[in-house]
Amino acid sequence: MTAQQTHASELKLFPDWKWKSWWTVLTGIMLLMMVGVIAFIVFQPIQVLPRIRLAPGFALIDQNGQRLTNEDLRGRYVLYNFTYTDCRAPECPQLDLLMREVQQRLDEAQTDGTPVALVTIAFDAEEATPEKLRAYAQTLGADTSNWHFISGNPERMKDIVGGGFEVYYEKLDNGEYKFTPTMILVDGWGIVRAVYNARAYEPDADRIIRHLGILAKELRESKGVARLGYEAAHLFLCYAS
Amino acid sequence: MKTSAKLILIIALFMVFFGAILVAGCARPYEFHGMVLQPSDPIDFTLTAHTGERVSLSDFRGKYVVLFFGYTFCPDVCPLTLAELSRAMQILGDKAEGVQVIMVTVDPERDTAERLANYVPSFHPDFIGLTGSADEIAKAATPLGIFYAKNEVEGASGYLMDHTASVTLLDKEGRVRLVWPFGTAPEDIASDLEYMLKGD
């Protein structure tokens, strides 16, 4: 046995590992990462509600004649719906009744103490006086401690409801309105997070209660490294059903 | 000699690997001081600048646009915010060239282009003040979540305006990216802008 051979056998810790093997390992790691990303997209371990757009700014008058602005609602989850004060069946009781159901079941929503407000905007701004709004709320049996009925400002109503919330409405010749019954969930920052109507999420109290919990969970958990996961969920459109 | 070199390489690779794990574990993703929005459709509006020219937001594509809604009779919030935005631009130094700060008045009744010319550039020579008709202002402010309303008070100045005091950041394509609440420190605004600028 020559000296050189001894030397080689002593150092033969990884006898068959060559450059090629390292490339295999690197490729393996890359593949694992890709599988991880695909698994994230397919299994969606984190589900979020999209950050759709900013909710519009407004200053309107409520059923007590008090001003209510979007800034007054900052820091709360706000569920909006839209109507006109003379609205009758079949369109109107539907979503108003759903609003009432959500209000009655709010204690089921796990919002970690973030208050929830309900806001009904009457877009018939010229007719919807505080008295008419109050009557509308009473007919529904709404608890007005956290449910506001607001209107006023005819010049700006189309910008707020049509332009800002993107809810279509149109006054007809007979004084009635044609509109798309819609509910909109806005987070504490004033961002639209969910739209419930015929074209988006189907309006449903269970879903809305669950969505409130999802918003609160993201607020609670999306910190530090977990934030990466949440941002990935937004990026890969892992939206809650 | 050749095998020992390989061994060193193996050890070096392991060190890099564990080093990377350590860095990944300790590193926190950048946290914006403003509220983050998903890039949406670009926004645009055309108003009258303090120079008297008609100016569109789309004229600033390629720059980050920092939008603030205020008015010149504003006693506290607006001068404070503009001073802090000016300070943020100072912190950014040369990089501030990639950013345009704009104040849109919420009081077009009193804020003429001339009045804005005497007010906005006094905070920073590059700041632009915009005014327009009541309708133009409303169409610009409402979709950005900006409310404003007259607040009649007793006094010489006639009335005050109540208004949203947050600051909105649009990216180079004119999409809303961040909203800074009133009172965000100039250092934090500068840091968010720097991170955005670095990403391009």
Q: Give the model confidence (pLDDT) of A111-135 as tens digits.
A: 999 999 999 999 999 999 999 999 9
Cα–Cα distance measured from residue B158 to residue B181, given in angstroms and rounded to the nearest whole number: 28
| pLDDT band at residue A88 under the 50/70/90 scheme | confident
Query: Which residue from B13, B138, B176 is facing A54, i.e. has the nearest CB?
Result: B176
Cα–Cα distance measured from residue A63 to residue A65, given in angstroms and rounded to the nearest whole number: 6
Cα–Cα distance measured from residue B45 to residue A143, given in angstroms and rounded to the nearest whole number: 40
Tally of structural domains, chain A: 1
Whether residue A182 is contained in a domain is answered as yes
Q: Residue range A156-161: average pLDDT? A: 94
Query: Which residue from B29, B141, B145 is facing A55, i.e. has the nearest CB?
Result: B145
**Is beta strand B64-70 parallel, antiparallel or unpaired with respect to B167-170?**
antiparallel
Q: What is chain A's mean pLDDT, rounded?
A: 89
Question: What is the share, in percent, of chain A residues with pLDDT greater than 90?
Answer: 66
Q: Which residues of A touch B38 (CB under 8 A)?
A: 50-52, 234
Contact B145 A155 (CB under 8 A): no
Q: Give the model confidence (pLDDT) of A41-75 as tens digits.
A: 777 788 999 999 999 999 999 999 999 999 999 99
Range of the domain at A184: 53-235
Asked if the model's pLDDT at residue B55 lies above 90, the reply is: yes
Cα–Cα distance measured from residue B175 to residue B179, given in angstroms and rounded to the nearest whole number: 12
Residue A210 gets which letter from DSSP?
Answer: H
Whether residue A5 is contained in a domain is answered as no
Contact A56 B28 (CB under 8 A): no
- Residue B104: predicted pLDDT: 98
> At a CB cut-off of 8 Å and minimum separation 6, what does B139 contact?
A159, A163, B45
* Domain locations along chain B: 1-30, 35-198
- Residue A194: predicted pLDDT: 96
The CATH number assigned to the domain holding A69 equals: 3.40.30.10
Whether residue A231 is contained in a domain is answered as yes
Q: Give the model confidence (pLDDT) of B1-17 as tens digits.
A: 566 777 777 777 777 76
Query: Which residue from B13, B29, B142 is facing A163, i.e. has the nearest CB?
Result: B142
Q: Which residue of A has its CA nearest to B40?
A: A53
Asked if the model's pLDDT at residue A13 lies above 90, the reply is: no
Contact A8 B179 (CB under 8 A): no
Whether residue A12 is contained in a domain is answered as no
Output A8 or B170, whichever has higher pLDDT. Answer: B170
Q: What is chain B's mean pLDDT, rounded?
A: 90
Range A17-22, long-range pairs (CB < 8 A, 24+ positions) = A17/B6, A17/B10, A22/B13
Of A141, A202, A124, A193, the closest CA to residue A165 belongs to A193
Asked if the model's pLDDT at residue B93 lies above 70, the reply is: yes
Q: Give the model confidence (pLDDT) of A191-212 as tens digits.
A: 999 999 988 899 999 999 999 9
Cβ neighbours around B103 below 10 Å, total: 29
Whether residue A165 is contained in a domain is answered as yes
Furthest C-alpha separation in chain B: 91
**Is beta strand B46-49 parallel, antiparallel or unpaired with respect to B128-131?**
antiparallel
Whether residue A214 is contained in a domain is answered as yes
Predicted complex ipTM: 0.79
Identify the CATH homologous superfamily for domain B35-198: Glutaredoxin (3.40.30.10)
